[in-house]
Amino acid sequence: GDSVTQMEGPVTLSEEAFLTINCTYTATGYPSLFWYVQYPGEGLQLLLKATKADDKGSNKGFEATYRKETTSFHLEKGSVQVSDSAVYFCALILGGSEKLVFGKGTKLTVNP
Amino acid sequence: SQTIHQWPATLVQPVGSPLSLECTVEGTSNPNLYWYRQAAGRGLQLLFYSVGIGQISSEVPQNLSASRPQDRQFILSSKKLLLSDSGFYLCARSRVGGNTIYFGEGSWLTVV
């Protein structure tokens, strides 16, 4: 079945460090890919998305590129801030599916 | 803007008591609506989704039920809560044929 695998956390970084959270997927079709962020005690917010191969989603300094050849959608940020501390979820949705498939989430803690 | 309202935001219920969580959506007609649960230490699990009034699909067998009495209203219920029902419940919406799902702020349920 369709699935998303993301690196397990927790990830702890110092402020201004470079961030990569790996995400790979398995899908029977051609999915759209998403990163959601969940700040402590809150719901999920859409961070960025990409709908076709080689698309790059970006928002708030975060980027992820849809790599069909490696079935990956790794999240990156060049310089993290304390305010980026949150849980990050990679997800996919297949066209016509109406349902998101989530990874298990990666908790990021950024220390000053 | 398209807003999702969930209430109550937090509740503590005894085992065996009933449950009703309500979700309403503004700014869009005929949305797809979803209930997800996030249990402690676990990922996001799709519980129910609905593509229209009275149309409910259940993803996993469980102690919960869902109803959609109006186009923009989605209710999660239980007749008798179990300890294992504790968790963070998220309502979500998407456009019909759209490929992006947006989440509400969530409701924290603790069953004691």
Digit-coded pLDDT (tens) for B8-45 = 999 999 999 999 999 999 987 899 999 999 887 678 88
A61: left (phi over 0), alpha (psi -120 to 50) or beta: left
Q: Do A105 and B101 touch (CB under 8 A)?
A: no
Whether B63 has a pLDDT exceeding 90, the answer reads no
* Choice between B96 and B57, residue whose per-residue pLDDT is larger: B57
pLDDT of A5-61, one tens digit each?
A: 998 889 999 999 999 999 999 998 889 999 999 998 888 999 999 999 999 999 999
Contacts with A99 from chain B: Cβ below 8 Å = 34, 46, 49, 59
Q: What is the mean pLDDT of residues B60-75?
A: 91
* Chain A residues closer than 8 Å to B2 by CB: none
- For tokens 């310089």, the residue is A79
Token couple for B58: 């259940």
From residue A15, alpha-carbon distances to A8, A44, B4 in Å are 20, 23, 33
Judge contact between B31 and B53, C-beta under 8 A.
no
At B5, list the tokens.
């309202």
Between the alpha carbon of residue A4 and those of residues A33, A42, A48, A74, A76, the distances in Å are 10, 22, 16, 12, 17
Residues 6+ apart with CB under 8 A from A41: none
Are A106 and A12 within 8 A, CB to CB?
A: no
